[in-house]
Amino acid sequence: MSIWTRIATAVSALTKGEGLSSVFDKLRSPPERSVAFTIAVIALGAKMAKADGRVTRDEVTAFREVFHIPEDQEGNAAQVFNLARQDVAGFETYAERIGTMFSADANMLCDLLEGLFHIALADGEYHPKEDDFLHQVSRIFGMPDRQFKTLRARFVEDADPDPHDVLGVTPDTPLEDIRKAWRDQVRDSHPDRMMARGLPEEAIKMAEKRLIALNKAWEDIQEAA
């Protein structure tokens, strides 16, 4: 059974009025966790799309880039998106429920936030309201502000991003400790590890951008040492 077939089952439950919390309660264990992850990104992405007051074609395309939605399953993905966008519940309610579901797996919440960054930047612009939305979601997830800053440094292009921010270290951190932080994060970005965390195979490509940023940051720090 494909992930999108399982998502269709979850969508059916949502349309019958079971509610997002009830649906997530059924998706706690692999392989269902990959369904929960995908629904979480789509649902929070829908809420975020309203943050800057518009939903662009690029943002919709970003979902397809991350999840490779089969043509015959686009309706299911669109239904999750529309249900979340139209739900009177605020994004805080969604973020709290999702944060609780993945509370024992901080890496999973980090992966989810990376998916939202990917969608936020799909139209080539990072709107201040999107930044505020993502920062609030990260805090609801229990993510330290420094970790959020690290994620943002990987995705939001500044003129000269601080490589220490990208790796989540400080300029005072010993070089050997920085090397360990880089190695640990590269290891955690391996496809096998990401699949073990319950990410759908389609979403693992999000780690490509992370690896590029991690390796470049380490190279820059080495050159400056």
Mean pLDDT over 133-139 rounds to 94
State pLDDT tens for residues 141-190: 999 998 898 888 888 876 567 899 889 899 999 999 999 999 999 998 88
At residue 72, the pLDDT reads 74
Is the pLDDT confidence value at 59 over 80?
no
At residue 178, the pLDDT reads 95
Is the pLDDT confidence value at 50 over 80?
no
* Range with lowest mean pLDDT among 50-59, 99-108, 196-205: 50-59
What pTM did the predictor assign? 0.74
State pLDDT tens for residues 190-205: 877 877 776 766 567 6
At residue 139, the pLDDT reads 95
Mean pLDDT over 55-82 rounds to 66
Contact at 8 Å (CB) between 177 and 169? yes
- Tell which wins on pLDDT, 14 or 135: 135
Is the pLDDT confidence value at 10 over 80?
no
At residue 200, the pLDDT reads 66
